[in-house]
Amino acid sequence: MNLSPDNSKLSFIHRYHLLLKTHYFLFYAAFGVVHPILNLTLRSHGLSNTEISLANVILPFSIFLTSPLVGFIADKSRRFLLTFNILFIIVSITFTALFLLPHIKSHYIQADSHYFKSSAYVLDFCASQEVVTKCSSRSRCGCSYQAYCKTENFLSNFTLTMNSNNVEKHLKENLQSQCGIDYRVTIDKMLLNADLDFPNSSMIKCQITCSIPYFCHGVRYEKQRIYIVLYAILYVVGSNLLSSSYALGTTIGFACLPRADLFGKQRVWGTIGFGILAFSTSRIYEFFRSEFVYLILFNTIAILTIIITSFIPIHINDKQNNEEKKNFNFTTLKVLLKNIDVFIFLSIAFLWGMSFGSIHPYLALYVDEIAPCQSRTLICSMFAIAAISEIIAFYLAKRVIKFVGPNLSSIIIFLAFTIRFSGYYFLPRPYFYLIVETMHFFNFGILYVLIAQKADLIAPPGLSGTLQGITHGVLHGLSNILGFIINNEERNFICFPKNSRGTGLLVSSFIYIVLQQRLLFLVFAILNIIAASIYSIYFLLTRKKSTNTNVTVSNNNNNNNNNNVSVEEDAQLNQ
């Protein structure tokens, strides 16, 4: 049976799959509204970098568990559109609640100022690591520290700097400490008061703030922990279900299209929507300066997405009919996971996911450290080049995969990751990273279409959506968790292991001081070149084995044909 309908009998909307294109455009536009600023929103609402990071560590694990489950439910019920709409409604409610939660309330950082030596005082205070590093690295961008000191007969407000020359730090030994590090900052006499009698003065109480408030916060008010937990839950649940909707949207695309090779040209509209809304939303926010810009735009686009999705036509073909007739049980799922092709496919996706877990968000954090004043412009430019490369890849994915084959495409993706990580490690200036971002053509554009096509191709009847979900969970879930672990072992940008409190902080601080930050990218460049070599050997061996098998089968068929001819000749002679 020909699965491709007669285009001449279809309406203009169905002939060019306009509903599916609109679905992808709107869904990824909504994704582009909130995705770039979710972590910034958490930070501006009062959560520390450590708390945000812990939520991001939990997120990939939850995606790994949830995404296959959502795919399983959609496959079993065959209600792809309804499942997607329900998920998106929950996401909209969750993010609305997150934006409307009250901000976390914190005291100012409390410091004690006392005499140190001739013409100098010191400020002693306890704070997290980012209090000193984040603002001081942005001093050229306008971030500064202010101290407000007073006694009964003394009042002084002054601006101070914190750098390696005037700051001493000691890790807290108390596991129950809420701040982590004791700091001592040397203050010049002229900053306080030239007429103050230092030797005879008692200790002065001070408060430290930053010109960028969320870089400096002290001990929180009581009963704030419940709000921190709520923020974490809403962030993880909303991002998790949004990511599951992302995977389910792929299944909807294949269920709607008559041929799998048409998928890339539909999905590219999602990238276009993401880029347009991410850029335009930032401009609108600059004008209104209100977080409600994100909330209103996201919910408006979400409503439109749900409406459009409800009208997407799902084609019921022979394959799907067979899927419906087949009993759906865990035995079939075991068969799926025991399939050697599926295992190799998932192992490749696992390694790709580890690489993605190292790029995001660590690349942005690394750029922010080496070029803090230009980091936002530079990162946006890198995303723009990556998006353009991705759009081109979606249009050319069909031809590229068909020309080089799926196996060689997988090897090329590994090599592209190697070039990308090597560029991050060896290139001396971050502006050169703009060239390296063109590798996103392979690392996401070709990769995404290749994974989607191959999952749909090798999945047994009735398990296409489940395999899509498992692959998505492996790519963006479990492998990212290991990527997070390796990243923290190599770099410890923002103290991920602080959930183990004192021990984790000590180990992480040791790794952060001893190991080079760039070493992370070299490790993953080597990992990808090794993976490319191993899978190349495997594909060559399986290709030779397949060729030998085909030759043997062909010879057997020829022998059988010759025997049949001999038998017929003998029969004719006997007659």
Q: What are phi and psi of 365, to 5 degrees?
A: -65, -40
From 1.20.1250.20, 3.40.50.720, 3.90.550.10, 2.60.40.1890, which CATH number describes the 14-104+223-315 domain? 1.20.1250.20
For the chain, where do the domains classified as CATH 2.40.30 start and end? 109-215
CA 47 to chain centre: 20
Place of tokens 């501006």: 44
Asked if the 332-548 domain carries CATH number 1.20.1250.20, the reply is yes
Give the end-to-end CA distance of the chain in Å, rounded to a whole number.
44
* Cβ atoms of residues 380 and 505 within 8 Å: no
* Cβ atoms of residues 232 and 89 within 8 Å: no
| Omega of the bond leading into 5 within 30 degrees of 0 (cis) | no
CA 453, CA 551: separation in Å to the nearest integer?
28
DSSP 325-374: HS---HHHHHHHHH-HHHHHHHHHHHHHHHHHHHHTTHHHHHHHHHSTTT
106: which DSSP letter?
A: B
pLDDT at 14: 78
pLDDT at 324: 46
* CB-based contacts of 26, cutoff 8 Å, min separation 6: 273, 301, 304, 305, 308
CA 371, CA 107: separation in Å to the nearest integer?
31
For the chain, where do the domains classified as CATH 1.20.1250.20 start and end? 14-104+223-315, 332-548
Whole-Å CA distances, 95 to 48, 74, 295: 19, 23, 8
Whole-Å CA distances, 17 to 21, 81, 88, 112: 6, 16, 22, 67
* Cβ atoms of residues 491 and 515 within 8 Å: yes
* CB-based contacts of 114, cutoff 8 Å, min separation 6: 121, 122, 124, 201, 203, 204
Architecture of the domain spanning 109-215: Beta Barrel (2.40)
From first to last of its 575 residues, what are the pLDDT tens digits of the chain? 444 455 556 677 777 789 999 999 999 999 888 887 787 788 778 887 677 777 877 877 787 778 778 878 887 888 889 999 999 999 999 999 999 999 888 777 888 887 776 666 788 888 776 677 667 767 766 678 888 887 777 677 777 777 666 677 776 655 445 566 788 888 766 555 544 554 455 678 888 888 776 667 777 777 888 999 999 999 999 988 988 888 788 888 888 888 777 877 788 898 888 878 877 887 788 788 788 889 999 999 999 999 999 999 887 554 444 444 444 455 656 666 677 778 888 888 888 877 877 776 567 767 766 776 676 667 767 877 888 888 888 778 888 998 998 889 999 999 999 999 999 889 878 889 989 999 999 988 888 788 877 777 777 666 666 676 677 666 655 544 444 444 443 333 333 223 322 232 333 333 333 445 677 788 889 989 999 999 999 988 887 666 555 545 455 555 555 555 443 444 443 43
Handedness of CA 223, 226, 232, 235 (dihedral sign): negative
Question: What is the model's pTM?
Answer: 0.67
pLDDT at 220: 76
* Cβ atoms of residues 216 and 109 within 8 Å: yes
CA 552, CA 557: separation in Å to the nearest integer?
9
